[in-house]
Amino acid sequence: MPHPEPTSPIPAALPPPTEAKERPWLGSSPGTADADLPKVSPRYVFLLVLASLGTWMAYVAPMSYSLTIRLHQIAPGHAEYLGYLTGIGGVVSLVLNPFVGVLSDRTRSRLGRRRPYLIAGTLAGLAALLVLAVAPNVALLGAGWVLAVIGWQTVMAAITTLQADKLPEHQRGKVSGITGLAQMVASALGVAVATTLVGNNLLLLLVPGLIGLLLVLPLAVRPQDPDGRTITLPEDKIGIRLLFAKYLFDPRRHRDFAWNWLGRFVFYIGMTFNTTYLAFFLAQRLGVSVERIGGTITAISGAGVLATMLGALAGGILSDRLRRRRLFVLLSGLLFCVGALLMVSSPSFAVLVAGSALTSLALGMFSAVDQAVVLDVLPSRAEAGRFIGIVNYAQQIPHAVAPLAASVLLGIGAAGDEKNYSVLYLAGGALTLIGGLIVMVKVKGSR
């Protein structure tokens, strides 16, 4: 993760400067913070949901399916190239998010700060899908994929930052839950649409992209973003040194944001332990080969998708209605821990599926509710794009480093070819619970 004075994004010693001075809109207690923000209309929430649905359809379909098809056509027998391309895309994503956030925070235009990035990102993403459809070699395919990552992730960042700009505290959980639900539906729907178009590369790539364009467009053209030329924006001039400094923040000044970042990071480390080796865990637990585990994974994944949707929707809505967020974050960590324990100790396949579904329920709840916590404790609304980009690291870095740590845990007490998945899953469950506890105990700027 990516400076005049480098500071770590992980909170170390946290002295007691007051959070209210850093974020004056917070008022005397959570909830009074957003008296200046009017309730967002159902129509605008609907547009946010539509845009999320379209963006994820356009992005996930090539990432999960269409890119594999094109790579097989261009370089059959070189499955390793997929790892190279997605790895490069991951690195680009790490660098991109705060960069786009800093730029959008400082954008002065008639369209406001965020809408130019909705429009430009969608057009770039659509152009990238065209490149992916016609690429004659791996190099051009890789260039198209990098452009797709830049385009569609720019749109995703703009949608999330619009929520930070506009949503009052009492709507954040519900909207986070509904948009999270839309993303899950889009992931499945995008791949389902793509599978019906195999055989025509242009349709395979462009149909999900055109759906994305049509669903993002209503949000992009609706004049709800204040004119960026008439509002107070960050005044510091961005040079190379200052730009890299913006990739970091001072955890001593922004305590709530820092502790929530750490809790989120720890939770996603634990979650990644659980998901990365699922196929191998199931094969060893059920005594079958990895090649024959596909049907089992399909059944577990189907139950998991439904449970994740339920967790996101229920957690988001209830956290708004009860005006309690940290409790639901802790509950999600506890549920994930119990689910991991059930998977490790399952005496039957039914209990194993139930444990997996419980971890999915917990993941959906955490994703929705902690996203609302993020919006509650943003250090600066004027720099919402920058800080949301930094928050994304708490999810992206675990996906990169957790599999490496997991390989070490698998060797503890292992005998022969048998790996110690029990240690891995128990460690994952413990980490998700610790992540929830960090947010519950340390984050004071959200109820």
Looking at residue 49, its pLDDT comes to 96
For 4, counting Cβ atoms within 10 Å of its Cβ (0-12 exposed, 13-18 middle, 19+ buried), the class is exposed
Q: What is the mean pLDDT of the chain?
A: 86
- Pairwise CA distance, residues 316 & 64, whole Å: 27
User: Of 158-172, 174-188, 219-233, 298-312, which gets the smallest average pLDDT?
Assistant: 219-233
Terminal-residue alpha carbon distance, the chain: 29
Residues 6+ away with beta carbon under 8 Å from 40 = 166, 167, 168, 171, 175
- Pairwise CA distance, residues 170 & 112, whole Å: 25
CA nearest neighbour of 100 among 149, 47, 172: 149
For 114, counting Cβ atoms within 10 Å of its Cβ (0-12 exposed, 13-18 middle, 19+ buried), the class is buried
pLDDT in tens, 26-63: 333 333 345 468 899 999 999 999 999 999 999 988 88
CATH homologous superfamily of 32-226+240-245: MFS general substrate transporter like domains (1.20.1250.20)
Which is more confidently placed, 20 or 183? 183
Looking at residue 9, its pLDDT comes to 35
pTM exceeding the 0.75 threshold for the entire prediction = yes
What is the mean predicted confidence (pLDDT) over 408-418?
A: 80
- Pairwise CA distance, residues 415 & 309, whole Å: 38
Please determine, for residue 296, whether its predicted confidence score (pLDDT) is greater than 80: yes
pLDDT in tens, 367-380: 999 999 999 999 99
- Pairwise CA distance, residues 293 & 290, whole Å: 5
Residues 6+ away with beta carbon under 8 Å from 364 = 180, 184, 307, 308, 309, 310, 311, 312, 313, 315
3-class secondary structure, 18 = coil
Say if domain 255-442 classifies as CATH 3.40.50.2300. no
Please determine, for residue 221, whether its predicted confidence score (pLDDT) is greater than 70: yes
pLDDT in tens, 98-130: 899 988 988 888 888 899 999 999 999 999 999
Please determine, for residue 427, whether its predicted confidence score (pLDDT) is greater than 90: yes
Domain map (residue ranges) of the chain: 32-226+240-245, 255-442
What is the mean predicted confidence (pLDDT) over 405-433?
A: 88
Looking at residue 298, its pLDDT comes to 77
The answer to whether domain 32-226+240-245 and domain 255-442 are alike in fold is: yes
Q: Where are the alpha helices (DSSP H) in 322-383?
A: 326-345, 349-376
The counts of H helices and E strands in the chain are 16, 0
Looking at residue 265, its pLDDT comes to 98
Please determine, for residue 186, whether its predicted confidence score (pLDDT) is greater than 50: yes
The 10 Å CB-count burial string (b at 16+, else e) for 278-291 is: beebbbbbeeeeee
pLDDT in tens, 59-79: 988 887 899 899 989 998 887
Determine how many CB atoms are found less than 10 A away from the CB of residue 138: 16
Looking at residue 225, its pLDDT comes to 59
Q: Provide the pLDDT confidence category of residue 148 given band limits of 50, 70 and 90.
A: very high
Which is more confidently placed, 232 or 432? 432
Cα three-residue angle 369-310-402, rounded to 5 degrees: 60
